Structure formats: C-alpha cells, structure tokens
C-alpha cells in the first residue's frame, strides 16, 4: 500500500518558485581555467570552464554542459553541472581552488521501483583532490547535531531546521506556501573546512534531494534542489538563504544521537 501525502501537501515546483532570491550571484572567476580532480574511489574528472558552461570528462563519458559557479567562501566554489543528455542526474562540486580540496555530490532521480522504502532521489558522495592538495580534507561530521536554525530564502520562504542525528534532520516551514508543513528526512553532512559545511537531504514524501554549502562565518547558504515536479518533469532549481542560529542542544555522554 502506498503512503498518501497529507492534504494540501505541496509539490516540488509549488514551493521552489523564488527560493533563489537570497542566493549569492555567480562568478566568472574560473572561466578559461582547467581542473583535474581525482576522487578517493579512483574516479578522475577533468573540467574546463568557460562562460556558463563546462567541458567535462571522466571514465563514463564526456560533454559540454551548462554550469553555474558561485564563490561561497574565499577561493571556494560551488559548481553545479547540469547534464543536458542526462536530466535525471546532476553533479555538484565544491572546490577550494587554493588548497585543491574537493567534494562531489552526484544526485540521481531513480525510478520508483529502484527506491522502495527509500527516498527516490539518491546521492553519491566522493571526496577528492585537484593536484597536490593541502589543508583540511572534507569528512563526514556530527558538528551540526543539536543545532536549530532559521533559513530565509526570500520574503516568502523561511524554514526551520533541527539537526537530529548523523542521519536525519527535521524541517518545518515558518513562512511560505508550505507553512505548517514539516517532516523528518535523511541527511548527510560533511565538514569542508573551518565554519564550512556541505549539508544534503533526501525527502521521502516527494521525489527531491538537495545539496547546500553553509558558510557559517558569513551565515549564508548556497544550494540546489533536484526533483520531480507535479507534472512529472525533472527540475534542477537553485536556492540560497540567510542563516540565523536559534539554539543548540547538548547531550550527556552516552546519550548522544546516532
């Protein structure tokens, strides 16, 4: 028996409109440059940037596709690759051009039959390096557990996040078309550097997953949603928010969440 969503539950496209209002602007800082990234699982990704596009290649193929580059911290870039020939897939690359550290989040919209009991949009995480990388290596982290924060994406989008454990977070809409709605979804968090985190989540009730870079020094969030709209089409939507920390929960030794 399939689980029914609550009455008036919004589809992906109904809540995503305007959610990029407070997003940082794109940059052309990488135009005319090339990068070769080697990931810990052996995958090698070659990138050549030009205005609004990136020429890429790895062992699975190659192409020239739409790309957006945003500087989310000094010398650190949020790179979104939108595959024209593979609309059900997208790759987000976080790259520190100074240290060479990189983290790839590859999102895939699966068929329902492939995702029984799981979120329909899956994510693959790969830590990597460009050249002789130095400094902090991105790793999964528990740093956000216990944090409650508000994210304002636009005058019509404010959400509250509560980071419950290393595997799940809770959200509720405070302002917007989803006001009063909330849920607990699967989440994965990486620490990219000091005060820098990559937070991702995969929803159960609707087929959508998201990737965000948190700059907690500037209190800015930059990200994207990949999912299926109400009419069944695939959309890869940009998003961005101002962050406000609200509270922090601390746990006694031996009583910490998983």
- Least Cα distance to 126 among 35, 239, 37, 210 occurs for 37
pLDDT, position 2: 44
Are 249 and 256 within 8 A, CB to CB? Answer: no
CA within 13 Å, CB half, 220: 15
- Does residue 116 surpass a pLDDT of 80? yes
Q: How far apart are CA 85 and CA 34, in angstroms?
A: 22
Residues 10-30: pLDDT tens digits?
Answer: 787 788 889 999 999 999 999
pLDDT, position 4: 60
Q: How far apart are CA 122 and CA 103, in angstroms?
A: 16
Query: What are the Cα distances from residue 3, in Å, to 194, 231, 240?
Result: 41, 19, 31
Q: What is the pTM of this model?
A: 0.95
- Sequence-ordered list of residues with C-beta below 8 angstroms from that of 34, at least 6 positions apart, any chain: 46, 47, 48, 49
pLDDT, position 16: 82
């Amino acid at each position: 028996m399939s689980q029914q969503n609550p009455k008036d539950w919004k589809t992906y496209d109904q809540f995503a409109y305007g959610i990029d209002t407070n997003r940082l602007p794109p940059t052309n800082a990488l135009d005319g440059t090339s990068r070769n990234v080697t990931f810990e699982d052996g995958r090698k990704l070659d990138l050549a940037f030009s205005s609004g596009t990136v020429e890429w290649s790895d062992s699975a193929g190659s192409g020239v596709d739409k790309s957006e580059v945003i500087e989310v911290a000094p010398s650190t870039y949020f790179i979104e690759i939108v595959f024209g020939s593979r609309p059900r897939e997208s790759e987000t690359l976080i790259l520190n051009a100074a240290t060479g550290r990189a983290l790839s989040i590859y999102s895939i919209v699966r068929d329902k039959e492939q995702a029984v009991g799981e979120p329909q949009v899956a994510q693959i995480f790969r830590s990597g390096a460009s050249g002789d990388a130095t400094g902090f290596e991105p790793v999964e982290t528990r740093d956000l557990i216990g944090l409650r924060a508000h994210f304002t994406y636009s005058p019509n989008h404010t959400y509250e996040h509560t980071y419950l454990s290393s595997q799940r977070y809770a959200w509720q809409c405070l302002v917007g078309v989803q006001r009063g709605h909330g849920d607990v979804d699967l989440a994965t968090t990486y620490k990219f550097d000091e005060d820098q985190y990559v937070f991702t989540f995969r929803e159960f009730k609707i087929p959508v997953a998201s990737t965000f870079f948190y700059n907690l020094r500037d209190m800015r969030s930059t990200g994207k949603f990949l999912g299926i709209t109400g009419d069944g089409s695939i959309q890869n939507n940009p998003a961005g928010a101002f962050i406000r920390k609200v509270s922090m929960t601390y746990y006694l030794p031996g009583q910490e969440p998983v």
